[in-house]
Structure 1
């Protein structure tokens, strides 16, 4: 209960001092999770929460022989770049054609990323990927809106654009138990799959770092042919 009380509700869901995304990426095409302040660091222990109710967000053929899992943060600029280009190619080539099962798993290394996830999940599986697209398209605006209240107000606008009413939005943002459970779920995933940067991918269980789409396509095609 003590850890749950750390969740404050509204736009101050997690009471950590350092919440902003580190802006200096040193030219890399991934965001390193090491030493980044945020929601997943020391606020909860995964064993404290039952994460069985947190669903993976899935596209494509659930029975496909090849599964691609993406680990990404809504505040990661490299993740936004992936979703603005390579993901669309992946979707056209492999997801929409039923060749793969695609799973999206959120990474939380800051509070805004968690808030964005709660907005994306607010619409359920049916609306998740549409809202995700809006969040990534608007990342440069909402993620750098300034104070936490301003960031959440921008995320509310995205939720309204997706067709959600104010009551639904506020209920999702102020669900403290859900926020803590999501953080615990992320920690379980991160530890199990050794996720150290975003975006990261599992292609039939083998971890891959961010890469050019051509390289990803070749790896997926090799799995399809095996």
Structure 2
């Protein structure tokens, strides 16, 4: 029930943030060629919503342990997907700036299984941010020691267990064995961490969320109120 309530609230906030974008988007007809709103592709390091050949391209760099990223997921994510992506003229890609072991664990889980599941996995983790981050704050020293010692796989599994990530993923239809398979993919974890470091260096990113629009970092833009007018101007 809490998850459903959170999602309803998130959709309400997203709807409130679509007004300016809707006005801009309605000035331009949708491009033919596909169901752009339903298009989701895995990229080299992230996932892209919408037309891969879109003229205007936004990349969000986010971290799952970032409270401002959780706020953006509620306020901006839905507005972008509802008003801009369906036109076919705009694509929205989510990439990761890995900050800590919890962040990497959550990232592995959102990438788990079919790439088409990423959108729902991402929302499931973000919409329950307040719940699991509070659990993280209340962990004991014994719990945290399990996050720091042993194999990488064992650490990721300990984090997932302590923060109820298993429960979140099971509500998404994953079996325990499938979740463990994703958490024990150390090659994937290494690749995600390497891509995160490379992207941070390439674009000069120092905080999350950060946004790159058509290849250029939007300096000083870290929330929906700052991003929305720039997107409207770019359309």
TM-score under structure 2 length normalisation: 0.68
Match of 2:180 in 1: 170
Structure 2: unaligned runs, 5 residues or longer: 1-42, 148-156
Q: Is 1:91 paired with 2:81? A: yes
Q: Note the C-alpha offset of 1:150.
A: 6.1
Match of 2:152 in 1: none
Checking the alignment, whether the CA contact within 8 Å between 1:198 and 1:210 is kept in structure 2 is no
- Mark the CA change 1:215 to 1:99 in structure 2 (over 3 Å): closer, same or farther: farther
- Mark the CA change 1:96 to 1:183 in structure 2 (over 3 Å): closer, same or farther: same
Match of 2:8 in 1: none
Q: Is 1:201 paired with 2:215? A: no
Q: Choose the corresponding residue for 1:221, options 203, 223, 232.
A: 232
More relative contact order, 1 or 2 (CA 8 Å, 6+ apart): 1
Q: Choose the corresponding residue for 1:115, options 101, 105, 111.
A: 105
- Mark the CA change 1:135 to 1:212 in structure 2 (over 3 Å): closer, same or farther: closer
Q: Note the C-alpha offset of 1:113.
A: 0.4
Checking the alignment, whether the CA contact within 8 Å between 1:142 and 1:151 is kept in structure 2 is no
Match of 2:53 in 1: 63
Match of 2:15 in 1: none
Describe the SS at the equivalent of 1:63: coil
Q: Which structure's CA Rg is the greater one?
A: 2
Checking the alignment, whether the CA contact within 8 Å between 2:211 and 2:222 is kept in structure 1 is no
Match of 2:194 in 1: 184
In the alignment of these two chains, the number of paired residues is: 172
Match of 1:105 in 2: 95
Q: Give runs of aligned pairs for residues 22-171 of structure 1, distance below 5 A.
A: 54-145=44-135, 146=139, 147=143, 148=147, 151-153=159-161, 154-171=164-181
* Rounded Cα–Cα distance in structure 2 between residues aligned with 1:206 and 1:123: 31
Describe the SS at the equivalent of 1:144: helix
Q: Note the C-alpha offset of 1:85.
A: 1.3
- Mark the CA change 1:114 to 1:159 in structure 2 (over 3 Å): closer, same or farther: same
Report the RMSD for the aligned CA atoms in angstroms: 1.9
Q: Note the C-alpha offset of 1:55.
A: 4.2
Describe the SS at the equivalent of 2:58: strand
TM-score under structure 1 length normalisation: 0.70
